[in-house]
Amino acid sequence: MTVKYFTDAHSAVGYVNLQNENLMGILHIFHLKSPTEQGVHNVLEQLACALLSRQLKPEYIYAILNPDLLAGIVIRELSTAFTSGKSIITDAKVIDLAPLYDKSTIKEKQDDLAELELIVDPFYQKMTMHFNAALHIRHEWGNIYRDRMHVDQAHQFQAQFITRLFETKIPPHSEGPRLLKRFSDTYTLDGACDFIPELTTGLKRYLIKGPPGSGKSTLIKAIANQAMTKGYDVDLYPSSFDPNTLNMVIVPELSFCLLNATEPDNQVPSFLTDEVVDTDAFIKTGTNQRCAFILEEIESKYTKQMTLALTAMKNAHTYKKALNDIYDDALMPEQFMIISDQLMDRLS
């Protein structure tokens, strides 16, 4: 299984970075300092090929602005990671990728770069503002269902479901539980993007479906807590839209995962062993009919704010791409292999 994910997000509460939470226990961290994702990607792509040729199994971290580009690599067998981005982890060894770029080309475009930098940030701020407005509307949406929920039924199901999942003779490893956090999804120019199929291949998947406020994230959190209590490793995936809620939990030692299969992910059963858990069953019958008018109004407001947020994001990405193109035109391809070889030497 190829492990792919993101460690940061432009969310409804602002920019969030989970690099520290994803690298718990990693001893050797190298931070690649670069003005663009392309330079980092080209170096990491060469490095990944070298690692695979040595039968190592790297995890791949991708850039949220362009999920086709590598932003980091983690080699847990070697307790080593290569990261990038604005946030530099304490004690990380910084590797400057400036030698990849032709200085004279960049110097000629300094005024254009400065102008684009000023244009980009306000669009990201506008995007966050509209995402945040959409989040508040979603909470209002969820309150309608929370107020009409059979709480006792939900609690009873949760207790029975936990018992079922942990009826196993597989003991946890002796080192104690390990908790990692990262994102499985992001928003791109083409809409929502996720690595859920790659992350969940070979696992027993429980797809949780239901309206906002019906207990999907609460159920995922309860399973994660139970796994940790019993000593199992846990991989947690918060929502990149609202990092205070959970989209997925994977318990690797027991080979199962629970994931939010509703908007924006809209996951559908894809494997023979997939099982749907419908939290709509805990909502009082007739809620959608009785609250049809207000639900329609809320959904309309939510869609409007999400559209405005995604429009601002597209504008930000457009200008960010123009900025990156200036740097990328200054890249010197002959340097990629040299730096990748230097990184392999550090690994050795």
pLDDT of 175 reads 79
Q: How confident is the model at residue 264 (pLDDT cuts 50, 70, 90)?
A: low
Q: Which amino acid is at 50?
A: A
Residues in the chain: 348
Q: How confident is the model at residue 265 (pLDDT cuts 50, 70, 90)?
A: low
Residue 149 in tokens? 């929920």
Residue 261 and residue 207 in contact, taking contact as beta carbons nearer than 8 Å: yes
Q: Is the pLDDT of residue 103 over 80?
A: yes
pLDDT of 149 reads 94
Residue 179 and residue 24 in contact, taking contact as beta carbons nearer than 8 Å: yes
User: What pLDDT digit, counting tens, does each position of 140-197 carry?
Assistant: 999 999 999 999 999 999 999 999 999 988 899 877 799 999 999 988 777 788 999 9
Label residues 265-278 b or e (16+ Cβ within 10 Å = b): bebeeeeeebeebe
pLDDT of 342 reads 83
pLDDT of 86 reads 80
Q: Which helix (H) or strand (E) holds 237?
A: strand 234-238
Distances (CA, A) of 187 to 92, 183, 321: 28, 11, 16
Give the DSSP letter of residue 105: H
Mean local confidence (pLDDT), 266-285: 89
Label residues 15-45 b or e (16+ Cβ within 10 Å = b): ebebbeebbeebeebbbbebbbbbbbbbbbe
Q: In this structure, are strands 191-194 and 185-188 parallel, antiparallel, or unpaired? A: antiparallel
Residue 201 in tokens? 């291949």
Residues with Cβ within 8 Å of 41's Cβ and at least 6 positions away in sequence, in order, are: 63, 69, 70, 71
User: What pLDDT digit, counting tens, does each position of 200-225 carry?
Assistant: 999 999 999 999 999 999 999 999 99
**Mean of the per-residue pLDDT values of the chain:** 91
d(CA 286, CA 209): 18
Q: Which amino acid is at 247?
A: N
pLDDT of 202 reads 92
Long-range contacts: 56-63, Cβ < 8 Å, 24+? 59/3, 59/4, 59/5, 60/2, 60/3, 60/4, 60/5, 61/4, 61/5, 61/6, 61/7, 61/22, 61/182, 62/4, 62/5, 62/6, 62/195, 63/37
Residue 154 and residue 282 in contact, taking contact as beta carbons nearer than 8 Å: yes
Q: In this structure, are strands 28-33 and 93-96 parallel, antiparallel, or unpaired? A: parallel
- 3-state secondary structure at position 315: helix
Residue 76 and residue 26 in contact, taking contact as beta carbons nearer than 8 Å: yes
pTM of the prediction? 0.92
